[in-house]
Amino acid sequence: MALLTGATLRSRRVGRRLAADAGLLFVAAAFVLPLAWVVLSSLDAHADLRVRVPDGLTLHNFDAVLKPDITFTPLLNSLVLCGGGTALTVVCAALAAYPLSRFRSRLNRPFLLTILFATCLPITAIMVPVYALFVRVNLIDTVQGTIFFFAASQLPFAIWLMKNFMDGVPRELEEAAWTDGASSLQSLVRIVLPLMGPGVAVVTVFSFVMMWGNFFVPFMLLLTPDQMPASVSINDFFGNRGTVVYGQLAAFSVIYSTPVILLYVLVARRLGGGFALGGAVKG
Amino acid sequence: MRAAPAAPAAAKTVSPRRPGRPRVLARALPVAPAVILLLLFLAGPIAYCAYIAFTDLQLTGQAHSSFVGFENFRAAFKDEAFLNAVWLTLVFTVLSSLVGQNTLGLALAALMQRASKPVRTLVGGIVITAWVLPEVVAGFLLYAFFRREGTLNAILDWLHLPTQNWLFTLPILAVSFANVWRGTAFSMLVYSAALNEIPKEITEAAEVDGAGGWRRMWHITLPMIRRSIATNLMLNTLQTLSVFGLIWVMTRGGPGNRSQTLPLFMYEQAFQKSMIGYGTAVALLLLVVGALFSVVYMRLLRTEV
């Protein structure tokens, strides 16, 4: 095995960087094609199923879908469902994480293990029994029922994440507040949560994004077309309205996807590249 | 808090907090809302699932369901459509999660370590966008990509390669690719984090000793990120087991039942054929498989809790 000199190592490294760039760009090209289709088609008056540059850019597709029954109602429904679900999730998770993070108890470990276990369960599998149960207790086709289920399905991961973030806030600051006579709830709301602002933001955005994109839960639990969120109503572009207008479908997809992409970017920036979530999941 | 009055503070310092019986209750109280939600809407349905899987509950026109023991499960293992769904779930999981997302995610992360910053940012952004997109939108994009008149055939045509109707000829392959497209970002993030934790000196020392890229990967990098690989495989598999919307949008499980994985089979039995009991039995099997993976995952994380 010959030892390499510094110069060969350096030139090797440059070559390797170029090779890595080329490899990554090739993969990116394959990944970008479907994304390019949706963006280009949304601006194309004669969009079909393949990626191509439109003859002339037009906002006609957006005009066509920006109507109450096609876009605004489903998006509003999505907002109510996901906003409600997220609020419930974040409040419950913050409350639950507090004693788990702050006080020692013999119950902490079993509870956290149960939560971790629930985090991994395939929620898809229980949608049929959930439907049957909701029919029985008259929660089927109700917005609040769907919100409750959304919150419950997101809670295990939210508690887990919230507890990990909360562990990062030093105890000393609260102890001072306790001596000043603050209750646990007060110190949670006024000291701990503000200090873990980015953590709360991550849990909030993550829960919201998961619910916003979820198709199966509202598809099963809601029946009335007027209550459907965008994830389900997007199906109407097929069948119900006659032939598929791909340009409009693409325009709707762009409108529907933009909020979650923006939210993700917002959180990723604050955490330096969005690797924190990967790290949090890794444990 | 800063404005807290000083007088009660002085009084409180006299009796520092010590844990006692009532305090334990007060401390457990904040957990209550979460526990109630979880019991009612998660544990409840799971328990109900375990119950109706053993009944002949149907969707319509049936006043009472009766207990049928293991009948649903016995029927399932004799049902060719079920065995087909099991097989397709296996193919889908192995292709898209174990092979696709995992390997591609690791390759991307490894390349990113060496690539220049603008390329890294661009590629990361594109791959993560595919991940953040709503499931149904991702389904439509790949439906358009794989259709007869879609982009893939346009490219193949341009390269003078034979084209075909992918969603008809190889539906399970098409949905597996779709899942790779959508899910690779997660592996990429996990592996990037893991690779960043490897001290530079170790790989550099090996490089100076003349170990080539592949050998370094195989003998140094992979053993060092062993745990990340295990947890990533676990989470990918669990995620893939419960994919519904993506396949539903692309193929509805068809043509015939050639891309009907277990979640879609479960849905069809329960709702299109109105056999809730049977569909739930399938759901229970899926849940048990998921639970087993979950237990393995927890053992991998054992030291962390």
A124 to chain B, minimum CA–CA distance in Å?
5
Question: Range of B162's domain?
Answer: 71-303
Check A125 against B263: CB less than 8 A apart.
yes
The answer to the question of residue B159 being in a domain is yes
Q: What are phi and psi of A121, to 5 degrees?
A: -65, 140
Average pLDDT over residues B133-160: 89
Average confidence score pLDDT of chain A? 85
Q: Does A140 touch chain B (CB under 8 A)?
A: no
Average pLDDT over residues B195-218: 81
Please give the structure tokens belonging to residue B166: 């992918």
Over the stretch A126-149, which tens digit does the pLDDT of each residue have?
998 899 889 889 999 999 999 999
Residues on chain B touching A1 (C-beta within 8 angstroms):
209-210
Over the stretch B63-106, which tens digit does the pLDDT of each residue have?
567 788 888 898 888 888 999 999 999 999 999 998 999 999 99
The answer to the question of residue B236 being in a domain is yes
The answer to the question of residue B275 being in a domain is yes
Alpha carbons A219 and B135: distance in angstroms, whole number: 13
Over the stretch A28-68, which tens digit does the pLDDT of each residue have?
999 999 999 999 989 988 878 878 788 778 888 898 888 88
Does residue B4 carry a pLDDT above 70?
A: no
Cβ neighbors of B91 (< 8 A, separation 6 or more) are B172, B176
Residues on chain A touching B244 (C-beta within 8 angstroms):
124, 215-216
Does residue A282 carry a pLDDT above 70?
A: no
Alpha carbons A43 and A47: distance in angstroms, whole number: 8
Q: What pLDDT, on the 0 to 100 scale, is given for residue A153?
A: 94
The answer to the question of residue B174 being in a domain is yes
> B293 with A120: CB under 8 angstroms?
yes
The answer to the question of residue B207 being in a domain is yes
Q: What is the ipTM of this complex?
A: 0.86
Q: How many residues does chain B have?
A: 305
The answer to the question of residue B160 being in a domain is yes
Our count of domains for chain B comes to 1
Q: Which of B40, B120, B126, B163 to mutate to test the interface with A (most CBs of A within 10 A)?
A: B126
pTM reported for the whole predicted model: 0.87
The answer to the question of residue B246 being in a domain is yes
CATH number assigned to the domain comprising residue B158: 1.10.3720.10
Average confidence score pLDDT of chain B? 84
Handedness of CA B108, B159, A43, A237 (dihedral sign): negative
Please give the structure tokens belonging to residue B296: 């393995």
Does residue A22 carry a pLDDT above 50?
A: yes
Average pLDDT over residues B263-292: 89
The answer to the question of residue B44 being in a domain is no
Please give the structure tokens belonging to residue B292: 């087993």
Q: Give the one of A93, A124, A133 whose C-beta lies nearest to B34's C-beta.
A: A93
Angle CA(A26)–CA(B170)–CA(B181) in degrees, nearest 5?
35
Over the stretch B9-34, which tens digit does the pLDDT of each residue have?
434 444 444 555 566 677 788 899 99
Over the stretch A238-279, which tens digit does the pLDDT of each residue have?
765 556 788 889 999 999 999 999 998 888 766 644 444 444
